[in-house]
Structure 1
Amino acid sequence: MRRMTEEEGAPEQKPSPFLIRPMTHEDMPAVTALEQASFRNPWSPELLRRELDHDWSTILLVEEPQPDGTRKLLGLAIFWIVQDEVHVLNVATAPEQRRRGVARAVMDEVLARGRARRCVLATLEVRRSNEAALGLYKSLGFRPVGVRPNYYADEGEDAIVMVLDF
């Protein structure tokens, strides 16, 4: 587990209260519940299990320590590192935890892992209507490079393809 801290050069702030760690099979019930709470069309337990079992896929969980010693699941990211590229498949934040920096914390960790593996770029798709996510990704340095029409077939919504050059 890694406790997230502010990036070097950023204004002095207190460390993040979030813990970020890889998902295990024991986390499946909590992760499934997070997916269902976060999305109209959540990833199924079977799809999550397949991603968890792929060597090239990583699922990171964002947790917050609780006063009773337990940890509360706040969010997650699912991504691949293939050769010199990071591809982000899914970022989820529990609805009641949004606007607390959960997605930023996990994306910072995803990108740090890509840099450590000497990746040259990161890619992702995001719903055209997801203004909060678009704003986050732009603030991290991603730029829109294209559109995938009707990518989200459930509602016929386009995806904005975004790229970050390391």
Structure 2
Amino acid sequence: MRRLQEDSEPRLSHGFSIRRMTLDDLTAVMALEQAAFKNPWSAELLKRELEHEWSTILLVEEPRESVPPLLLGLAIFWIVHDEVHVLNVATAPQHRRRGVARAVMEEVLERGKGRRCCLATLEVRKSNEPAIQLYRSFGFRPVGIRPNYYADEREDAVVMVLDF
């Protein structure tokens, strides 16, 4: 499958710039992952995601005068057949509650619709009420529980689905 040309062009959403990650972004993305999660994704795993045709990593940045943009958040998702599967959404802790996750989720879902997907799925920590509320605001609904999905903390995941 060839990637669509529009996937590589940065877009503005909610005052943020959203673009695809490249290998040059790895150091900044690793710093964001480590700040956002107890168990961040590894550099090797992120590199592998960059190689898969079905995988996309979007970065949310804040444009700044005379200096490079500031990385605020990201989303990792797959488009397989007619489904968008969201694997990871992260926002830098100091930039939460600014609409970063909302902006990147809107972009993820728009890209899925643009590829004629009919549903989106994700797993979210049962204890992550802010994320659950965000996903509900897009129309996601809980459809099940994956026991001990987050094995290190022995925490269940809520499986959520959105029909387009």
Range of TM-score over shorter length: over 0.9
Dislocated runs of 4+, deviation >2 Å? none
Q: Corresponding residue for 2:3?
A: none
Q: Corresponding residue for 1:138?
A: 136
Q: Corresponding residue for 1:126?
A: 124
Q: Could you state the TM-score of these two structures normalised by the residue count of structure 2?
A: 0.93
* Residue segments in structure 1 that go unaligned for 5+ positions in a row: 5-15
What amino acid maps onto 1:146 in structure 2?
G
SS, match of residue 152 in structure 2? coil
The equivalences for 1:91-106 within 5 A come to 91-106=89-104
CA distance in structure 2 between the partners assigned to 1:39 and 1:163 by the alignment: 23
CA distance in structure 2 between the partners assigned to 1:70 and 1:40 by the alignment: 27
Q: Corresponding residue for 2:84?
A: 86
Shift of 1:68: 2.4
Higher helix proportion (structure 1 or 2): 2
Q: Corresponding residue for 2:155?
A: 157
Deviations 1:59-93 (A, max 9, x none): 00000011224200000000000000000000000
Q: 1:3 aligns with which of 2, 12, 15?
A: 12
Shift of 1:17: 1.4
Deviations 1:13-52 (A, max 9, x none): xxx2100000000000000000000000000000000011
SS, match of residue 154 in structure 1? helix
Aligned pairs, number: 155
Q: Corresponding residue for 1:11?
A: none
* Residue segments in structure 2 that go unaligned for 5+ positions in a row: 1-9
Q: Could you state the TM-score of these two structures normalised by the residue count of structure 1?
A: 0.92
CA distance in structure 2 between the partners assigned to 1:53 and 1:154 by the alignment: 27
